[in-house]
Structure 1
Amino acid sequence: MRFPPERIVCLTEETVETLYLLGEQDRIVGVSGYAVRPPQVRREKPRVSAFTSADIPKVLALEPDLVLTFSDLQADIAAELVRAGVAVHAFNQRDIAGIFAMIRTVGALVGAAEKAETLARSYEERLRGIEKSVRGLQRPRVYFEEWDEPMISGIGWVSELVGIAGGDDVFPGKAKERAAKDRIVSSLDVVGTRPDIVLASWCGKKVVPERIRSRPGWEAIPAVRKGHTVEIKSPLILQPGPAALTDGLDAILVALGTWRDR
């Protein structure tokens, strides 16, 4: 691999945003079809993948020095690229500490370690400030729904951000599970936790609040009864990178603030 790599393909959106924030976007030659941050990426960079699939010939035609992937769900893509002789770095962050590590690692990979350290520290300071600002405020019980059929509760970094924003995840144990299949919950499970707020972000598709509110027995849930069912757009919260630490967290803060002001 050339160092620093001059031609990078990013198969998930969080590394795209990180490289732009580091001012290293000129190295990017291909991105995931889900990359929308910053907005100009949609017109500046060719799209070469979905999430669990990629156009391997198109990736190879870009002659990348490095391909950045994420999680076991892209393991087959990574393996195919490795067999084709491409250098691949596979991230697997599932919590906030992992997000900070990703930012620092991306910086190191492109020879911008100092800028990455400054960026990561700015986010760390922001999160500490927000956590301090909500101390002493009433803490709502929050159910975060990552998918609807089956119902999947929030992953680690989402649960942590709910806590930083001043709420309590109703399924904190589930949040520690890395695989989505291990975070499946039943309708009765959710009803039993009696959440004050339902936050929904169905990865890759629009949330339908009416569908949530009409689930059998859910009229007993305080969040449903009092109208505190809120969609958070998936690009803001379900990508483990800068978006979640900024606009994603801000969306949670607004939802919790609205609940407190009821």
Structure 2
Amino acid sequence: MESAFPVQVGAPGGKPLTITKKPERIVSLNPTATESLFAIGAGKQVVAVDEKSNFPAEAPRTTLSGFKPNVEAIAGHQPDLVVASNDVEGVVAGLEKLKIPVLLLPAAKTLDDAYGQISILGQATGQGTPANDVVNRMKGQISKLVRETPRPAEALKYYHELDPTFYTVTSKTFIGSIYGLFGLVNIADAADPTGGGYPQLSAEQVVNAAPRLIFLADVKCCGQSAAAVGTRPGWASVPAVRDGGVVALDDDIASRWGPRVVDLVRTVSEAVTAAGKK
């Protein structure tokens, strides 16, 4: 059963948006939204996506930017709905002047946020039932993975690397919440007194913290790997490096909060299981 129109949608705390009829020409300016739109069966309604939206392969990728959106370029695709994660460069006001509605879905902070955004996209596109099916499937798969992952007797410390200059995430971020599902201890939490969520550590801090797991989210962007990490001065003594606990992630999956977060949870589950056997 398709969602009824008109419908009022919006992220929690955001400005509600009324969509008068089922959109048939959607422009997505965010890779996560693009993945979600196709997962819920709204792909045929999408006419253009931003340059970072590289999944799925059939998404109509363009040179549009979600970071520096160009109102004229977006409007050129004649959208009846634009989905974005941020209101930058005055894009919302600019498109509203042209009578083009914009649905803002900011970066998720929790899994519940991610589920909620998929449901919102379902309501906004007339794909309410398929969207709920996607959410329920994700919940079931993630719950099963977490439930069936054996927990080691001692909580595992981990480090999540965003780039080779040691920017990382804390437990307060979306990615941190994923690791939290498995009871992992984030070595960066104590190094983030302002609570921003994305502190920069030093090599010495990482080495001294002695994490048993290191997750690399800088594989595609920056050519990092377990072998590369092992050659860093002093890192050979880190338990994760010494015992094979360096895990290469897919940069894209590790930075998005759409349906493929299940793949990320599975990767973390496998890493925790392997570490527990050592």
TM-based fold match above 0.5: yes
Q: CA deviation at 1:117?
A: 2.0
TM-score under structure 2 normalisation?
0.79
Whichever residue aligns with residue 87 of structure 1, its letter is P
Equivalent residues in 2 for 1:107-256, closer than 5 Å: 107-138=122-153, 139-149=155-165, 151-153=167-169, 156-165=173-182, 167-172=184-189, 182-202=198-218, 205-209=221-225, 210-244=227-261, 246-256=262-272
Say if 1:151 and 1:184, in contact at 8 Å, map to a contact too: yes
> What is the alpha-carbon distance in structure 1 between the residues aligned to residue 260 and residue 195 of structure 2?
20
Aligned to 1:90: 104
**What SS does structure 1 have at the residue aligned with 2:247?**
strand
Distance in structure 1 (CA, Å) of the matches to 2:103 and 2:195: 19
Contact kept in structure 2, 1:82 and 1:88, CA below 8 Å: yes
What is the Cα-based RMSD across aligned positions, in Å?
Answer: 2.9
Aligned length: 256
Task: Name which one, 1 or 2, has greater alpha-carbon Rg.
Answer: 2
Task: Sort the Cα spacing of 1:96 and 1:125 in 2 relative to 1 into closer, same or farther, 3 A.
Answer: same
- In structure 2, the CA distance between the partners of 1:2 and 1:26, relative to structure 1 (3 Å rule), is farther
Q: Which residue of 2 aligns with 1:33?
A: 51
The CA deviation string for residues 37-70 of structure 1, in whole angstroms up to 9 with x for no partner, is 22322xxx14142441335433111111111111
Taking structure 1 as the reference length, the TM-score comes to: 0.83
For 1:81, give the aligned amino acid. Answer: L
Matching residue's letter, 2:180? G
1:47 aligned onto 2:65? no
Residues in 2 aligned to 1:178 and 1:105: alpha-carbon distance in whole angstroms: 28
Gaps of 5+ in 1: none
Q: Which residue of structure 1 aligns with residue 39 of structure 2?
A: 21
Call closer, same or farther: CA 1:102–1:175 in 2, change over 3 Å: farther
Q: Where in structure 2 are there 5+ consecutive unaligned residues? A: 1-18
Pair 108,62 (structure 1): closer, same or farther in 2 beyond 3 Å: same
Distance in 1, Cα, partners of 2:101 & 2:220: 28
Contact 1:177 1:183 (C-alpha < 8 Å) held by counterparts: no
Q: CA deviation at 1:225?
A: 2.5
Residue 259 and residue 109 in structure 1: after superposition, are their counterparts in 2 closer, same or farther (change >3 A)?
same
Q: Tell me which amino acid in the other structure corresponds to 2:137.
A: S
Q: Contact (CA 8 Å) 2:160, 2:169: kept in 1 or not? A: yes
CA separation of 1:145 and 1:128: change in aligned 2, threshold 3 A? same
178 and 126 in structure 1: CA distance in 2 versus 1, 3 angstrom threshold: farther
Runs of 4+ more than 6 Å apart: 173-178
Give 1:107 deviation, angstroms. 0.8
Distance 1:254 1:225 in 2: 18
**Residue 177 to residue 57, structure 1, CA distance change in 2 (3 Å):** farther
Q: Deviations over 1:83-104 (max 9, x none)?
A: 5442111111222111011111
Percent identity, please.
18
Deviates more, 1:4-13 or 1:129-138: 129-138
For the pair 1:11 / 2:29, whether they are aligned, the reply is: yes
Paired residues of 1:130 and 1:165 also in contact (CA < 8 A): no
